[in-house]
């Protein structure tokens, strides 16, 4: 069963979803539960039910939005293409407080000419924060785009002690 619940954090309220295999999605709670369910079904082909998710998942989200070290929690990789899996699993190796460029991540993941495709993988990351796409920035400077807004990306990086600009 895929389920989700709302989680209050220091950076606002979010909805976190999971399958029996791990976390599948994190989205802002500014959208309605119905909008969340519809978007989830579009991505995963199933409607989640509103039920509590494991406390460890909620705690991991609360810790990371404080810039704290996060214990490892399972991620359900079944909704990702092999390319996305490779890129996002490589991204998990970028430590808190560090930033890397899209081209760096493309090279490190084994796709040296795919920086734009890496950017698309970041833009379609359904598990922001825990798959820390906020740590990837343009080589030309600045923080770049972020699905939850540039200001939130700046806050996350500042909380982690990263120097970006």
Give DSSP secondary structure letters for 43-96.
HHSS--EE-PPPHHHHHHHHHHTTT-------B-GGGS-HHHHHHHHHHTTS-T
Q: Please give the DSSP secondary-structure letter assigned to residue 94.
A: S
- Residues serving a catalytic function are 133
Residue 44's φ and ψ, nearest 5 degrees, are: -110, -5
Per-residue pLDDT of the chain (165 residues; tens, 9 = 90+): 999 999 999 999 999 999 999 999 999 999 999 999 999 999 999 999 999 999 999 999 999 988 888 878 999 999 899 999 999 999 999 998 899 999 999 999 999 999 999 999 999 999 999 999 999 999 888 888 888 888 999 999 998 888 766
**Looking at residue 15, what is its pLDDT?**
97
20: tokens are 């029996």
Helix ranges (DSSP H) in 74-144: 82-91, 102-109, 115-123
CATH label, 80-160, candidates 1.10.10.10, 1.10.3720.10, 3.40.50.1470, 1.10.10.1100: 1.10.10.10
Domain ranges of the chain: 3-64, 80-160
Q: How are strands ordered across the β-sheet holding 22-28?
A: 22-28, 12-19, 3-9, 49-50
User: Tokens representing 49?
Assistant: 């039910």
* Residue 91 in tokens: 């991204």
Coil/strand/helix, residue 6: strand
Q: Report pLDDT for 142.
A: 85
Token output for 9: 């954090």
- For 78, how many CA atoms within 13 A lie in the half-sphere containing its CB? 13
3-state secondary structure of 131: coil
The whole-number pLDDT of residue 67 equals: 84
């Amino acid at each position: 069963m895929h389920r989700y619940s709302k989680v209050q954090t220091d950076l606002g309220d979010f909805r976190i979803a999971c399958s029996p295999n791990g976390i599948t999605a994190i989205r802002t709670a500014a959208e309605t539960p119905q909008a969340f369910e519809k978007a989830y079904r579009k991505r995963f082909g199933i409607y989640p039910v509103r039920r509590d998710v494991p406390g460890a998942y909620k705690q991991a989200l609360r810790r990371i939005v404080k810039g704290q070290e996060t214990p490892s929690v399972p991620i359900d990789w079944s909704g990702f293409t092999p390319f996305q899996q490779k890129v996002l699993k490589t991204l998990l190796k970028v430590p808190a407080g560090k930033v890397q460029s899209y081209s760096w991540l493309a090279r490190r993941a084994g796709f040296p000419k795919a920086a734009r495709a890496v950017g698309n993988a970041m833009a379609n990351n359904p598990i922001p924060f825990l798959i820390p796409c906020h740590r990837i920035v343009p080589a030309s400077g600045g923080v770049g785009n972020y699905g939850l807004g540039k200001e939130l990306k700046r806050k996350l990086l500042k909380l982690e002690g990263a120097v970006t600009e």
